[in-house]
Amino acid sequence: MVDLLIKNALVVTCHPNVISGRIFSPGAVAVHRDRIVDIGPSAELEAKYADAAKVIDGDGRIVMPGFIITHTHMPYVLGHNQPVDVSQLRSFWDMLQKMGWEWLEDITTADGILAATQYASLKMLKSGTTTVCDLVEAPNALPGPLTASVRAITETGIRAQIGYEVTERVAGVPIAERLDPAYAKRGFEENIRLFESLASAEGQSSRIQGRLGVHTAYTNSPATLERARELANQYKCGIQIHIAEIPRAFLVEKYGRSAPEVLEETGLLGPDVVAAHCIDLDDADIDILARNKVNVAHTPMTNSLGGNGVARVPEMMEKGINISLGHDCFFTLDTAEYIRFAYLIHKAHWANPALLPPFQALDLALGNAAAALGMEKEIGSLDVGKKADIILIRPDSPMPVTPSTVIPFFTMTFRGSDVETVIVDGEIVVDGGTSTRVDEAIVRKACVEQAVALWKRNGIEA
């Protein structure tokens, strides 16, 4: 007997990647406990698992692996729609120092993190994202931000890797004026507290893993970057960091070297590193990322917001760099929009419609993302033995979605609101578009209250 049989659906395995994956129509997936135990033609599995404890009829639905976002900051939802004075935002530095730090991170509280992370993870689940890698930044909420994150994530049921951002930046002091390693120490302590608690809390939540957070090469000294590598090796947790989201010239001016050069010298880079942005890189920088097998979290929307240019994704792919998808939580939480943005921007920028075909754009949020998080054996595709992280989509499309149209559907018309059922670890966490875990109205209300309180700290009345 199996716990769950999803039958009569258009099953897209995306295994080992989207283009090589199998499609069964009508197909079925059998789940027992937290794992996929069988995939194949529906009639075959229906006969084999006639006594399944629960059956979902997937007629008219696409069944596929849940999406994975490899870089975000869930507490940033508190800044959504904040009516800030845009005349103060004339450069990326303004965006970073005012919109990112002064108006948001530096005034974020633990209660804000709890409410925002509940809301963001719920919204992501409802639109088909089953795993997220979250980098928490709230210097004035230390110690404790990750405790709030863990609580929120545990409640909504999303799978996550989380870490606190280590930085020597002193809140309220320009980084060119002063950095202080004591602040990095507090950041390390917050990460270590999480790693130790996850290691000791037996069965607390196997869905949460730690991933050491580091802000950037330019807000940390080489000694702090070396310490980050030591800790990542000790806890086998991997590292998440921002690389080259700012003009290359800034680092070259400061250190005489680019961010990849500084990070390679300190030994921080490696196949367990997820690097967000990676925009302003020269050929030698890209070679450094390639030879260190660094995973890139491509964040096309925030790269555009900051006016930072377009990351050289097609060239990085050619050099064998694993490219996944991040979103920073600055905009919508619907992964469909980020897939589509990534799918389009490189065609426009390089005037080449052949770049990033639909299957490749989709891989960014599936197999590539699973590999970036070191979880390619567990998630990112439907395969026997893998975690049952599965989504059911009811396409709101004017055209038939068939085995030959299902992949282009994702870049053409798919929206997160088409997602109907979401399964994580074999557990149905979204049923008919509604969370089975939390009261959505309460989550939303708490998040709105925290956003209004944060805006007030900026002198803004909602």
Q: Which residues are near Zn ion by CB under 5 A?
A: 276, 328
Minimum CB distance to Zn ion, residue 168 (Å): 17
Decide whether 93 or 350 has the Cβ nearer to Zn ion.
93
* Cβ nearer to Zn ion, comparing 237 with 276: 276
Nearer to Zn ion, 32 or 71 (CB): 71
Left if phi > 0, otherwise alpha if psi is -120 to 50, otherwise beta: which for 393?
beta
In whole angstroms, the minimum distance from the beta carbon of 219 to Zn ion comes to 12
Closest approach, Cβ 96 to Zn ion, in A, equals 10
Nearer to Zn ion, 30 or 372 (CB): 372
CB 345 within 8 Å of CB 312: no
CA angle 363-57-65, nearest 5°? 15
Give the nearer residue to Zn ion in terms of CB position, either 116 or 276: 276
CB 421 within 8 A of CB 38: no
Question: Least Å distance between CB 216 and Zn ion?
Answer: 10
- State in angstroms the smallest separation of the CB of 343 from Zn ion: 21
Provide the minimum distance between the beta carbon of 267 and Zn ion in the complex, in angstroms, as a whole number.
22
Minimum distance of Zn ion from residue 167's CB (angstroms): 12
Q: Whole-number minimum distance, CB 411 to Zn ion, in Å?
A: 24
Locate 174 and state its tokens. Answer: 């320009």
Q: Tell me how crowded residue 200 is: count the other CB atoms within 10 A of its CB.
A: 8
List the one residue out of 96, 102, 108 whose CA is nearest residue 144.
108
Q: Min. distance of Cβ 240 from Zn ion in angstroms?
A: 9
Angle at 118 between CA 112 and CA 119, to 5 degrees: 90
Q: Which is nearer to Zn ion, 123 or 386 (CB)?
A: 123
Instruction: Pick the closer one to Zn ion by CB: 275 or 454.
Output: 275
Q: By C-beta, is 64 or 69 nearer to Zn ion?
A: 69
Give a three-class secondary structure readout of the chain: CCCEEEEEEEEECCCCCCCCCCEEEEEEEEEECCEEEEEEEHHHHHHHCCCCCEEEECCCCEEEECEEEEEECHHHHHHCCCCCCHHHCCCHHHHHHHHHHHCCHHHCCHHHHHHHHHHHHHHHHHCCEEEEEEEECCHHHCCCHHHHHHHHHHHHCCEEEEEEEECCECCCCCCCCCECHHHHHHHHHHHHHHHHHHHHCCCCCCCEEECEEECCCCCCCHHHHHHHHHHHHHHCCCEEEEECCCCHHHHHHHHCCCHHHHHHHCCCCCCCEEEEECCCCCHHHHHHHHHCCCEEEECHHHHHHCCCCCCCHHHHHHCCCCEEECCCCCCCCCHHHHHHHHHHHHHHHCCCCCCCCHHHHHHCCCHHHHHHCCCCCCCCCCCCCCECCEEEECCCCCCCCCCCCHHHHHHHCCCHHHEEEEEECCEEEEECCEECCCCHHHHHHHHHHHHHHHHHHCCCCC
At 70, which amino acid appears?
A: T
Question: Per DSSP, what are the bridge partners of residue 36?
Answer: 31
- Pick the closer one to Zn ion by CB: 297 or 424: 297
Q: Which residues pair with 166 in a beta bridge?
A: 214
Closest distance of CB 242 from Zn ion, Å? 5
Q: Which is nearer to Zn ion, 277 or 346 (CB)?
A: 277
Write down the least CB distance from residue 60 to Zn ion, Å. Answer: 38
Nearer to Zn ion, 134 or 427 (CB): 134
Nearer to Zn ion, 73 or 394 (CB): 73
CB of 88 to Zn ion, least distance (A): 21
